[in-house]
Amino acid sequence: MIERPYYIDRLWRHRGVGLAKVLTGMRRSGKSGILRLLEQRLLKEGARPTSLLSINLELAQNAHLRQPDALLAHIHASRGPEKPTYVLLDEAQETRGIGSVVRTLLDEGGYDVYLTGSHTRLVEWELADVMSGRYVELHVFPLSFSEYCQAHTQTSATTTNGKLFQQYLHNGGLPHTLALEGDDYALQDYLDGVYHTIVRRDVAGGLGHEDPLLLDAIARSLYADLGLPSSASKISRALSSSGRSCSDDTVARYLGALTSAYAFHSMRRFDLRTGMELKTQEKYYADDLGLRTLMVGPHQTSLAGLLENVVYLELRRRYGSVYAGKHYKRSIDFVAGDAQGREYFQVVPSVLDVAVLNQTLAPLQAERDNYPKTILTLDEVGVESHQGIRQRNLVEWLLAS
């Protein structure tokens, strides 16, 4: 099992404090594995096996527990003599009314509750109204490049970081793909199964009556244009020009379903002069690049788009907020913020060309504040600072988590 200490440590900080801990993320991103790692940590720290109650609500044998009353009764009946009882509910969105179950357990006391969910309805529909302020959400992404490399050191210590990075861009970071590397057919079959499971269970569930061909076409459009500003109307026009007519509203509904299933993330844009959110031309990034390879092939997305996607996910892991910045006609790829302030990032494959370097520096130089500013490239960095604007090798930056 791949160790994921970042998530375990964050869960451990909130252990037993009266809050439900909610792991959200795309299906197969590793949420269930994190629950198993948490169980191991609890047992290592002295919890008795009888104090652990783990239920996967997606399994057919647990279908009867998808009714809130039945689930609550089962938890009460299965409770051991020790306190607290650690309740781990996998794919909790399968139980409609799960919020009332968790609230009851917290009100009764003696329960430490952990949930996972593969759809935003777990938080936005089930928990938000009945448990406001009584849960903490932790989003789970597929393996970071640092986690990916650490997993590989267990099997191959000779592979270079550069080669692993190219492999990572192609295969993505879903944990199970590591067991299939070297067998392209098995890897493709697995990713195809993941994609269609997401479509059948999570995306379709938010649409009602969906057109699977249209959904695939919209997903392919997003995968092909990673990092480019997009909108429902832009995608609608592109589909219409290729012979598939659909309205802007229909595309917007499908985009919402894809992001609700965490297959894609939409990033907002802000005017850095006014602080106002820009309502158009959001950017979309994929939760996993292996699914991108499956849907559009290895060469249908620009290298710049792939690198932006990797950086966006890494910034989401490291910072509280991530958005794109606009200053007049100039754009900054990422503005990441946390309690200490903000940091600016530009991402480009190479700045060895002086014209490209100047074009990349210009938006950062236009910001006169003292927040850190960084250019991330694949270049072997020679000059590490351009009048205070740092330049870092992207692969090294990813590993320095």
Per residue, the 3-state secondary structure of the chain, as one string, reads: CCCCHHHHHHHHHCCCCCCEEEEECCCCCCHHHHHHHHHHHHHHCCCCHHHEEEEECCCHHHHHHHCHHHHHHHHHHHCCCCCCEEEEEECHHHCCCHHHHHHHHHHHCCEEEEEEECCCHHHHHHHCCCCCCCEEEEECCCCCHHHHHHHHHCCCCCCCHHHHHHHHHHHCCCHHHHHHCCCHHHHHHHHHHHHHHHHHHHHHHHCCCCCHHHHHHHHHHHHHCCCCEECHHHHHHHHHHCCCCCCHHHHHHHHHHHHHCCCEEEEEEEECCCCCEEEEEEEEEECCHHHHHHHHCCCCCCHHHHHHHHHHHHHHHHCCEEEEEEECCEEEEEEEEECCEEEEEEECCCCCCHHHHHHHHHHHHHCCCCCCEEEEECCCCCCCEECCEEEEEHHHHHHCC
C-alpha to C-alpha distance for 325 and 345, rounded to whole angstroms? 10
CA 245 – CA 247 distance, rounded (Å)? 7
Write phi, then psi, for 135 (nearest 5 degrees).
Answer: -145, 155
Instruction: Name the segment(s) of the chain with CATH classification 3.40.50.300.
Output: 5-139
**For the ranges 271-280, 379-388, 389-398, the one whose mean pLDDT is highest:** 389-398
Q: 253 and 214 in contact (C-beta within 8 Å)?
A: no
Residue 104 pLDDT:
96
Check if the beta carbon of residue 247 is closer than 8 Å to that of residue 238.
no
Task: Give one word for 243, left, alpha or beta, with left for phi > 0 and alpha for psi -120 to 50.
Answer: left
Dihedral (C-alpha) 173, 178, 179, 185: value to the nearest 10 degrees? 80
Mean pLDDT value of segment 248-262: 93
308 — pLDDT class (breaks 50, 70, 90): very high
Among residues 78, 2, 84, 71, which one has the least CA distance to residue 36? 2
Whole-angstrom distance, CA of residue 172 vs CA of residue 182: 14
* First-to-last C-alpha distance (Å) of the chain: 21
* Pairing state between β 111-117 and 20-24: parallel
Question: How much of the chain, in percent, has pLDDT values that exceed 70?
Answer: 98
Q: What is the pLDDT of residue 53?
A: 97
Residue 125 in this model has a pLDDT that exceeds 80? yes
Summarize the confidence of residues 125-137 as an average pLDDT: 90
- Give the mean model confidence (pLDDT) for residues 96-112: 95
Check whether 300 has a pLDDT greater than 90: no
Query: Which is more confidently placed, 88 or 121?
Result: 88
Q: Report pLDDT for 401.
A: 66
Instruction: Give the pLDDT confidence of 191-229 residue by residue, as tens digits.
Output: 999 999 998 778 877 677 778 889 999 999 999 999 898
* pLDDT tens, residue by residue, 260-294: 999 999 998 888 887 788 877 789 999 999 999 99
The answer to whether 87 touches 38, Cβ cutoff 8 Å, is no
d(CA 22, CA 89): 10
Identify the pLDDT of residue 23. 98
Is 241's pLDDT higher than 60? Answer: yes
- The DSSP bridge pattern shows strands 330-338 and 321-327 to be antiparallel
Average pLDDT rounded to a whole number, residues 175-179: 95
The CATH code belonging to domain 5-139 is: 3.40.50.300
Determine what percent of the chain is predicted with pLDDT higher than 90.
75
Whether residue 181 is predicted with pLDDT greater than 70 in this model: the reply is yes
277-286, 316-325, 354-363, 372-381: segment of lowest average pLDDT: 277-286
Q: For 299-303, what is the mean pLDDT?
A: 89
The whole-number pLDDT of residue 271 equals 84
Higher pLDDT, 375 or 280: 375
Task: Please say if the pLDDT value at position 158 is more than 60.
Answer: no
The model carries a pTM of 0.94
- For 48-90, write each residue's pLDDT tens digit: 999 999 999 999 999 999 999 999 999 999 998 989 999 999 9
pLDDT higher than threshold 70 for residue 157: no
Long-range contacts of 375-379 (CB under 8 A, 24+ apart): 375/345, 375/346, 375/347, 375/348, 375/351, 376/307, 376/311, 376/345, 376/346, 376/347, 376/348, 377/347, 377/348, 377/349, 377/350, 377/351, 378/307, 378/349, 378/350, 379/350, 379/351, 379/352
* Average pLDDT of the segment spanning 178-192: 94
* pLDDT for residue 379 is more than 80: yes
pLDDT confidence of 315, banded at 50, 70, 90? Answer: very high
Residue 338 near residue 320, CB atoms below 8 Å: yes
Q: Is the pLDDT of residue 368 over 90?
A: no
Q: In this structure, are residues 294 and 312 in contact, taking their beta carbons and an 8 Å threshold?
A: no
Q: What is the pLDDT of residue 154?
A: 63
At 155, is the pLDDT very low, low, confident or very high (cuts 50, 70, 90)?
low
Residue 114 pLDDT > 70: yes
Q: Which is nearest to 272 in space by CA: 358, 367, 346?
A: 367
Average confidence score pLDDT of the chain: 92
